[in-house]
Amino acid sequence: MDAVRADVELHGEPCGETRPAPCGLVIFGASGDLAHRKLLPSLFRLQRRGLMPESFFVLGAGRSGDTASFRAAVIRTLEGIGAGAAEAADFAGRCGFAAGAYEGDELYAALAREIEARSADHRTGGNCLFYLALPPDLHAPVAQRLGAAGLLRESGEEAAWRRLVVEKPFGRDLASARELDRRLKSVLGERQIYRIDHYLGKETVQNIMMFRFANRLFEPLWNREHIDHVQITVAEGVGVENRAGYYDRAGCLRDMFQNHMLQMLALVAMEPPARMEADLHRDEMVKLLRALRPLPREPAELDRSLVRGQYTPGAGMAGYREEAGVAADSVTETFAAARLMVDNWRWSGVPFYLRSGKRLARRVSEIAIAFKPVPHSIFAPLVPGSAAPNVLVLNVQPEEGIAVTVEAKRPGTKTCMGSLTLRFDYRSVFGVEPPEAYERLLLDCMLGDQTLFVRSDAMEAAWELVTGVLETWQAGSARGACTLHGYPAGSWGPPAAGALLAADGRRWRTP
């Protein structure tokens, strides 16, 4: 049956948003991709929406450069996203730059001087957010130098805050993640550390919480009695782009599963926190991650729970090994699909199928909750086949929204049934584009709300699962086990990913 656009009315007051107290922001790696594609545009949009502090400054930090060239670059970036000349210049006027080697003393001395002077000019009371938009091997050294320079100390009469934002990847495995954490915590308290997983800032990912816990309708059904299985898909159309240097050492499991995929799984499956407070929320997230059943350590058994793939040439596109910067014999996985089990009372026996990959058929991220079929179909003799089970789909991107399929009677004098899709589409209901995840996350950093940031115990729990797999892959590859399946660019991944579900009598949805 055709999909039908439901008529959705939105009631309720628009929410009040809070403006942070005055502060400074220091962006390390301010000439980089993340700074110019995400951070600076997000800060600018927050300012446009009246959500930046009444008074603030932005300091770029890097190996070379000065305030004039940084301001010019900021203006180019903002104009590139549609800012008018005057508003771009106004924003750039709050920006400054400090230069020096990341592992030398000069940069930190310059930063100390700049922060002190600008804090006085902008009356920020010394509040300062440091953002590490830098290659990962610089995260710990820079944090420790900031600490040594006294820049992370929260002191003074006004008890100014100092916070540090760390980008993923948080280490390469459990041991390196623990070591990074140890070094961060040698200069910072956990409440000063903001580990960003930008998926947690996506509007539709946050909506999982509201949808589950603000509606009576779903909670009674949200368990093993009614849910057959869950599918989480994050498919990317793009290949490795210009990030081969990083990606070829990381692979899909580290790049997407350890963080985005497992965080979404935790939101879908966690118990409700008593209140929406950062630590109560994060306690539930970590409990869920700790309930994930470790994947098999025996290579052949692991192959039956987790499929890895690498894209080959297809649809006029190069294969992964032909990409610039990728080794011709690279065995890095650009795709992974897994069956995960959550060993707790609510989810016993319910598989969670997760898949993510680059160069798939199209860009789409969704979470599909597949319900069990009705226990007995009274229409069976009249309608061929039994009623299709209901599916609830949370569309994370690019068509943000929610869709639910229900069985309904087709119009006519006969008893004909069909599946009907009721769809709520974010843009058509709210009339706006969902905000960029970094806007929300940067705002929360300034407000001191850690709810949407990964706590160290959750990070470790996710690494525990992933590190086991990485070790088995390494050992298995040496023995010629643990298959790396090829899949043509532009497809939905290797057939083995389909076989993973087929073995359970299920199949992947085509999003």
> Hey, what are 495's tokens?
């057939």
Report, in Å, the least distance between residue 172 CB and ligand NDP. Answer: 12
Q: Which residues lie near ligand BG6 (CB under 6 A)?
A: 236, 255
Report, in Å, the least distance between residue 64 CB and ligand NDP. Answer: 7
Under rule CB under 6 A, which residues in 301-360 are in contact with ligand NDP? none
Nearer Cβ to ligand NDP, position 33 or 504? 33
> Hey, what are 145's tokens?
């130098």
Q: Which residue is nearest to ligand NDP (CB)?
A: 32
Please say whether the dihedral angle defined by the alpha carbons of residues 449, 452, 453 and 454, taken in this order, is positive or negative. Answer: positive
d(Cα 428, Cα 305) in Å, to the nearest integer? 39
Number of neighbours of residue 235 by Cβ within 10 angstroms: 20
Report, in Å, the least distance between residue 73 CB and ligand BG6. Answer: 23
Nearer Cβ to ligand NDP, position 202 or 485? 202
Under rule CB under 6 A, which residues in 49-68 are in contact with ligand NDP? 62-63
Nearer Cβ to ligand NDP, position 125 or 434? 434
Q: Which does 136 bind (CB under 5 to 8 A by kind): ligand NDP, ligand BG6, none?
A: ligand NDP
Q: Which of 95, 146, 167, 306 binds ligand NDP (CB under 6 A)?
A: 167
Report, in Å, the least distance between residue 108 CB and ligand NDP. Answer: 14
Q: Which does 29 bind (CB under 5 to 8 A by kind): ligand NDP, ligand BG6, none?
A: ligand NDP
Report, in Å, the least distance between residue 442 CB and ligand BG6. Answer: 15
Q: Is 106:63 a contact under the CB 8 Å cutoff?
A: no
How far CA 29 is from CA of 39, 219, 272, 285, in Å, comes to 11, 44, 38, 31
Closest CA to 326 of 312, 316, 337, 307: 312
Q: Which does 33 bind (CB under 5 to 8 A by kind): ligand NDP, ligand BG6, none?
A: ligand NDP
Contact call for residue 147 and ligand NDP (CB under 6 A): no
Please say whether the dihedral angle defined by the alpha carbons of residues 431, 434, 439 and 440, taken in this order, is positive or negative. Answer: positive
Q: Which does 255 bind (CB under 5 to 8 A by kind): ligand NDP, ligand BG6, none?
A: ligand BG6
Report, in Å, the least distance between residue 317 CB and ligand NDP. Answer: 21
Contact call for residue 104 and ligand NDP (CB under 6 A): no
> Hey, what are 148's tokens?
């040594």
Nearer Cβ to ligand BG6, position 25 or 261? 261
Contact call for residue 33 and ligand NDP (CB under 6 A): yes
Contact range with ligand NDP by CB under 6 A, out of 31-39, 81-89, 150-158, 352-360: 31-39
Q: Which of 34, 187, 252, 350 binds ligand NDP (CB under 6 A)?
A: 34
> Hey, what are 257's tokens?
């599963």
Nearer Cβ to ligand NDP, position 244 or 295? 244
Report, in Å, the least distance between residue 455 CB and ligand NDP. Answer: 18
Q: Which does 32 bind (CB under 5 to 8 A by kind): ligand BG6, ligand NDP, none?
A: ligand NDP
Closest CA to 122 of 194, 225, 52: 52
> Hey, what are 193's tokens?
């550390």
Nearer Cβ to ligand BG6, position 181 or 255? 255
Amino acid at residue number 174: L
Q: Which does 63 bind (CB under 5 to 8 A by kind): ligand NDP, ligand BG6, none?
A: ligand NDP
Under rule CB under 6 A, which residues in 385-404 are in contact with ligand NDP? none
Report, in Å, the least distance between residue 249 CB and ligand BG6. Answer: 12
**Structure letter (DSSP) for residue 317:** B
Closest CA to 443 of 46, 60, 104, 148: 46
Angle at alpha carbon of residue 257, lines to 255 and 262, rounded to 5° = 135
How far CA 28 is from CA of 80, 112, 134, 445, 451, in Å, comes to 22, 14, 6, 16, 24
Contact call for residue 133 and ligand NDP (CB under 6 A): yes
Nearer Cβ to ligand BG6, position 255 or 323? 255
Q: Which of 22, 31, 305, 467 binds ligand NDP (CB under 6 A)?
A: 31
Task: Please list the active-site residues.
Answer: 260
How far CA 336 is from CA of 221, 229, 244, 444, in Å, comes to 29, 18, 18, 32
Nearer Cβ to ligand BG6, position 93 or 135? 135
* DSSP string for 353-422: EEEEESSBSS-EEEEEEEEPPPSS-TTTTTSSSPPPPPEEEEEEESS-EEEEEEEEEPSSSS--EEEEEE
Under rule CB under 6 A, which residues in 10-29 are in contact with ligand NDP? 29
Nearer Cβ to ligand NDP, position 23 or 134? 134
d(Cα 406, Cα 399) in Å, to the nearest integer? 20
d(Cα 36, Cα 42) in Å, to the nearest integer? 9
d(Cα 32, Cα 37) in Å, to the nearest integer? 8
Report, in Å, the least distance between residue 90 CB and ligand BG6. Answer: 28
Length of the chain: 511
Q: Which residue is nearest to ligand BG6 (CB)?
A: 255
Cis peptide upstream of residue 169 (ω within 30 degrees of 0): yes
Question: Can you give the binding site for ligand NDP, defined by CB under 6 A?
Answer: 29, 31-35, 37, 62-63, 102, 133-136, 167-168
